[in-house]
Structure 1
Amino acid sequence: MEVEIIRKALESDRMAIAVINAKAFSNDWSLLDNDSNKVARALFNGINIDVYYVACIDDKIVGFLSYVTENQRALAIDSKSFQKVKGFFKGYAIAMMLKNEFEEPLHLKKSQVYIDILGIDPDYAHRGIGTKLIQYLIDNSNFEEFSLKVTNINMNAIQCYRKNGFEEYKREKVKYPKQMGFEEYIYMARAK
């Protein structure tokens, strides 16, 4: 089975993207809930569909890549949706904890693009879908510089990024490692 198509995401792809995000990052979202359908519902409204590419096999979305140019982020944290999943106080607290992570402006140069989120359906992992999405972005954009950050425990992603020419340039400790489930972010970049 090979990726048949990579295309810009459509409004009708929003739930598929939310479900893949919930499943692919289930450890990260476990603070919110262990049920990927509930997490997907919490993420649904915050997806900025305009900055997503999707990979499809047999008309099924199996992965996505979101990117940022200048200050347009891929996912906003909708506290009301989080409250519906986790309750009024806990949902709000989790949303506020994650808001900076997902909504903080990045102040990118005009020639730079930031890979905000790369998610692959776990049932389709290790098939080169992440590489194809990255290559598609690189080949079909006018940007000269590509950057991203990844958690230190996401070894599959780190390996994928290195394979695609990304090199580490900085590490940053997180404030709440126990709650977040990892200790630091690794920042990586590559030129076109």
Structure 2
Amino acid sequence: MEKIRKAGENDKKDVIDCVLDAFQKDFSGFINNVGIEKVRNFLEDILNIDCFYIIESEQELIGAMALSDINGRVAYNIKKSAQKHFGFLMGWLIYIVNFREFEINHCESNDTGFIEFVAIKQKFQGKGHAPLLIKNVMNEKKCKKYLLDVVDTNLSAIKCYSRMGFSEVKREKTKFGVLKEFNENIFMEYEMR
């Protein structure tokens, strides 16, 4: 039986491992260039665990997601942390190419929640865990509107969110798309009834 709960400080390492597993394709080049431990330490510095929720079985963590609001995104101090872990120049480049967009707050009011880092471990993907986790958190938080963004190449996530009732509201061309292997961020919205 799955259990959904707010993540705590003791869950941070497991949440980071889950994010790295779920987004393995996205992080593989980064990890190959700088090493897994540096990436883990960097994520540990920038992710606010207080924004995360987890879904778990009795044996292990299945997945995680974060919910941010008008007060700020789940990632913070990204540029400073990137430079700390990867050196001044390399850190600046990593920030500009890969992480700068994580600092843009898309919430317009206290009634809006921004869903981020929806990460289900690969071995659990496609089994309904993401919709279960997202719906549970949305029902608990009771915002009037929820936003999320997904890259245009993540077709399974787009399909999942569409089935849940999210609808596309805009697309933004990504900078450095060739390096990131996607062209656009698709923003989707769900209004509670």
TM-score, normalization by structure 1: 0.88
Cα distance, 1:77 vs. partner? 5.4
When structure 1 is superposed on structure 2, of 68-77 and 152-161 the one drifting more is 68-77
Residue in structure 1 matched with residue 161 of structure 2 by the alignment: 161
Q: Is the 8 A contact 1:33 1:86 kept in 2?
A: no
The percent of aligned pairs where both chains have the same amino acid is 30
Q: Is the 8 A contact 1:77 1:98 kept in 2?
A: no
**Alignment length, in residue pairs?**
190
What amino acid is aligned across from residue 16 of structure 1 in structure 2? D
Q: Distance in 2 between matches of 1:102 and 1:165?
A: 24
Mapping of residues 97-108 of structure 1, within 5 Å: 97-108=97-108
Mapping of residues 1-192 of structure 1, within 5 Å: 2=1, 4-34=2-32, 36=36, 38-76=38-76, 78-79=78-79, 82=82, 86=86, 89-192=89-192
Indicate how the Cα distance of structure 1 residues 33 and 11 shifts in structure 2: closer, same or farther if over 3 A, else same. Answer: same
Q: Distance in 2 between matches of 1:60 and 1:72?
A: 29
Cα distance, 1:80 vs. partner? 6.2
TM-score, normalization by structure 2: 0.88
Cα distance, 1:189 vs. partner? 0.6
Deviations 1:53-98 (A, max 9, x none): 0011124211011011103211235456545765553233112333
Q: Is the 8 A contact 1:54 1:64 kept in 2?
A: yes
- Runs of 4 or more above 6 Å deviation: none
What amino acid is aligned across from residue 30 of structure 2 in structure 1? L
SS in 1 for 2:61: strand
Q: Distance in 2 between matches of 1:25 and 1:183?
A: 17
SS in 1 for 2:138: helix
Q: Distance in 2 between matches of 1:49 and 1:150?
A: 21
Higher helix proportion (structure 1 or 2): 2
Gaps of 5+ in 2: none
